[in-house]
Amino acid sequence: MKNMKAIVMIGISVVAGLVAVLAAARWVSQQSAVSTNRLAVAVVDMQVGQQINPEMIKLVDWPRDSMPAGGFSDLTTLAGRVTKMGVGRGEPILESKLAPVGSRAGLSALIASGKRAMTVRVNEVVGVAGFALPGNYVDIMVNTQEEGGQVGDKERQISKIVLEHILVLAVAQEASRDESKPKVVNAVTLEVTPEEAEKLDLARSVGSLSLVLRNQVEAQAVKTVGATKGSLLSDKLKPSPAEVKAEAPKPERRRSSGKAVQSRNCVQVLRGTQSSLECF
């Protein structure tokens, strides 16, 4: 009799345990379904200007409360899209990282609306020693002859910043913005407006170009008059303070009558209650 009661109690315990496990599993699955959404992420590392294929992306569960803006939950909408910045493996695919719909793979996908891409030749010096990387901003400076100056006349040379805050799209044939190491190359591709492209083409035909690397967040334009040999050596052409002091004229002194005379050896003569200044 006692054994029967024990068996019944064990049976009840087993059934209760199974019910609890099933209820917990159901609750967990319900909570997961409620708190997550499907989000498209990259399966491989994607480079700038690369076209997205179905094999490069997949859907994963992502916490609903932390869904990024511009994410995708349908893989078919990403077919044929082109990246305009690098995307790492496991990183969400966002609209802000993609070129407009219909863009083709390549550098053209990186060019903003209304802008143009133009390539200029540089060397190790004028290319800022390779530190002008894709995504950086530079100023363009030209060294040429002043208006009316003859070719080779160094007295009439001028260096002037002609374009400011120009985006570097690519260095050589690389447009990736994920690199941080300097790259010494012989060509840099810049993003310019049509008007800036005309100025840049004229500048490289009348003189030599140099790149000036600038702060990423500084967009304020700075107007300069340019540097010439005269302004460069202006401090050296001015006489020194010692020379100015040595060449300064001697101060004049006045007689008691009020007439100005040059400074000489003078003595004061007393005649009774009267005094006078006698100079020799």
Q: What's the CA gap between 162 and 145, in Å, rounded?
A: 14
Q: How many domains does the chain contain in total?
A: 4
Q: What's the CA gap between 29 and 27, in Å, rounded?
A: 5
pLDDT at site 260: 47
- Please check whether residue 159 lies inside any domain of the structure: yes
Pair (226, 257) in one structural domain? no
For residue 22, what are the domain limits? 2-35
Q: Which two tokens stand for residue 30?
A: 């319900």
Interval 110-127 mean pLDDT: 79
Q: Return the higher-pLDDT residue of 238 and 214.
A: 214
pLDDT at site 156: 76
Pair (27, 97) in one structural domain? no
Residue with tokens 């993003």, as numbered in its chain: 191
Average pLDDT, the chain: 78
Contacts of 257 (CB under 8 A, 6+ apart): none
- Please check whether residue 239 lies inside any domain of the structure: no
Q: Return the higher-pLDDT residue of 59 and 49.
A: 59
**φ/ψ of residue 279, rounded to 5:** -115, 145
Q: Which tens digits make up the pLDDT trace of 141-192?
A: 888 888 765 656 667 788 899 999 999 988 877 666 656 666 677 788 999 9
Q: Return the higher-pLDDT residue of 148 and 198.
A: 198
Pair (81, 160) in one structural domain? no
Q: What's the CA gap between 131 and 213, in Å, rounded?
A: 8
pLDDT at site 9: 76
pLDDT surpassing 50 at residue 256: no
Domain at 90, CATH number: 3.90.1210.10
Q: What's the CA gap between 156 and 39, in Å, rounded?
A: 63
Pair (182, 129) in one structural domain? yes
pLDDT at site 49: 82
- How would residue 198 be classed by pLDDT, with cut points 50, 70 and 90? very high
Pair (44, 56) in one structural domain? yes
- Please check whether residue 244 lies inside any domain of the structure: no
Pair (221, 258) in one structural domain? no
Pair (90, 171) in one structural domain? no
Pair (125, 172) in one structural domain? yes
- Percent pLDDT > 70 in the chain is 74
Pair (162, 219) in one structural domain? yes
pLDDT surpassing 50 at residue 261: no
Q: What's the CA gap between 28 and 25, in Å, rounded?
A: 5
- Please check whether residue 243 lies inside any domain of the structure: no
